[in-house]
A and B are shown apart, each in its own frame.
Chain A
């Protein structure tokens, strides 16, 4: 059965697209302070990057990570080094992964995923209060080792191939396959009680 692309599933078919020049051009405009270009890039990429960081690190840390990434991207004194030889999204994947590992190494305390109990601290948490099941999936995901969690998140939210996940995580495609196998299986075992008996 074909998985007809649903609203939340990234459209991964990047077709015979024009040269990278438009994306690089937009990026350069953003670096030069063009607010419209900055906003366009931000709105295009931030939702999925934040979702990855959210599930990897927790609520508060995710917003900080996303802000830091885009501040460095648009206004950092150090040239980000993006030249259009790869897609900007590929580049951003590496950035969010690196930042997640940095934050995790500093052992910042994860914000407990208690939104299902109704702690709507900002307008974006409303989506998490819709159903205990969803909250349980989020909790189980948060229990995975960070490297497995990131592999699962990159696969789910960005629809990346094994090669692309490997590039983002700095490991081999075989390691990605192993992490995805173990991560998905661990989630299923942790959430076995959700399956119909």
Chain B
């Protein structure tokens, strides 16, 4: 028989319960109540169905004129001030840029002509035209470089470093300026050694953006946007929709058409690596059994994984992480919500412990 006292009902907690956001004690209390309360059980079912219905709502695209309208409105509101600020900023930037260019021994003509391109093997193609000659040519902004049939090439960025384009790749330079060097890797693999200020060197793939933070790394994607990033020194940030995943040296991160996976150290125990791969594919079966194999440095993987799993699995990942790296503040409970601020703090603690 259902309890009749209104205050014993758990209606207001059902969304959190269904979402797996309640702490252990509260979840147990609500669950026990639902066993004997038909009203709350029906409401829990309704909450669950409501969540599923809302999840069907797609993100509508912005109208094509949204940015132009805003840009016109901004320009109309303070044209003189905007123009003055732009001039000041651009003069400062130009001065800085010219200084950098002078330092790099580059000229405007050289930038227009593109980056030096060295053929390492085979016959790369430039906009479909085979490059048969050995030696160096130039890769101009916007021109596609392909490496069929075992071809390899190196794009030089002067003292900033270089990028080796591996066989089976299609890539182009989309920006080459003192503030940004950006490549568009449509598919294939790049190995980069970059000695540049952080966030100067960027590689866009169909799914994510890899932002160099001073490093050496290899990034691969297939034609569906699926691949991986492996960092051998420094750090690389994978970005999508303004969110970042920082992958440190010695770690790799899977790339999916929908975004990035979680960073996993290359020397992590194979059972843990396999369990994480499977978990990201939707199967958590192996994950609980692999958690004891996680070391302190694998806390980096676990703290990212918390948000990718639900319910009891999330609790288990959280508990193992807490054993490895004590949670700061209220992160232990907040991680289950999951509270991104708490997880950020825990991630910083994990970084400090590695």
Contacts and interface: CB of A to CB of B under 8 A. Distances in A.
Interface residues of B, number: 86
Nearest to B77: A75
A80 interface: no
Given A2-B308, A74-B74, A123 B64 contact: yes
A12 B243 contact: yes
B15 interface: yes
A55 B50 contact: no
B69 A13 contact: no
B212 to A, nearest CB: 12
**What DSSP secondary structure best describes chain B's contact surface?**
helix
A48 B59 CA distance: 7
Contacts of A189: 46
Nearest to B81: A33
A70 B48 CA distance: 35
B31 interface: no
A188 B50 contact: yes
A47 B64 CA distance: 11
Nearest to A40: B242
B85 A63 contact: no
B308 A184 contact: no
Contact of A15 (B213, B244, B339): B244
Contacts of B303: 15
Contacts of B43: 181, 185
A21 to B, nearest CB: 10
Given A12-B243, A32-B85, A163 B339 contact: yes
B57 A134 contact: yes
Contact of A70 (B70, B246, B260): B70
Interface in B4-44: 11-16, 21, 43
Interface in B233-247: 237, 240-246
A5 B259 contact: yes
A134 B53 CA distance: 9
B70 A124 contact: no
B329 to A, nearest CB: 12
Interface residues of A, number: 80
Contact of A174 (B12, B54, B55, B309): B12
Contacts of A186: 50
B138 interface: no
A187 B54 contact: yes
B73 A137 contact: no
A98 interface: no
B12 A178 contact: yes
Nearest to B303: A15
B265 to A, nearest CB: 14
A71 B77 contact: yes
A50 B62 contact: yes
A137 B57 contact: yes
A3 B339 CA distance: 17
A65 interface: no
B186 interface: no
B160 interface: no
Interface in A158-189: 161-164, 174, 177-178, 180-189
Sort A-B residue pairs by CB-CB distance and give the 3 closest, nearest first: A184-B50, A33-B82, A188-B49
28 contacts: A2-B284, A2-B308, A2-B313, A6-B258, A12-B243, A13-B262, A14-B243, A16-B344, A16-B350, A17-B237, A17-B344, A35-B71, A39-B67, A42-B70, A50-B62, A50-B66, A51-B57, A51-B59, A67-B70, A123-B63, A124-B60, A137-B54, A140-B53, A161-B337, A162-B16, A181-B15, A189-B46, A191-B49
Given A13-B340, A184-B46, 9 more contacts: A6-B258, A15-B246, A75-B82, A124-B64, A127-B60, A177-B15, A181-B12, A182-B12, A188-B45
Interface of B: 11-16, 21, 43, 45-51, 53-64, 66-67, 69-71, 73-74, 77-78, 81-83, 85-86, 89, 198-199, 213, 237, 240-246, 256-260, 262-263, 279-284, 300, 303-304, 307-310, 313, 334, 337-341, 343-344, 347-348, 350-351
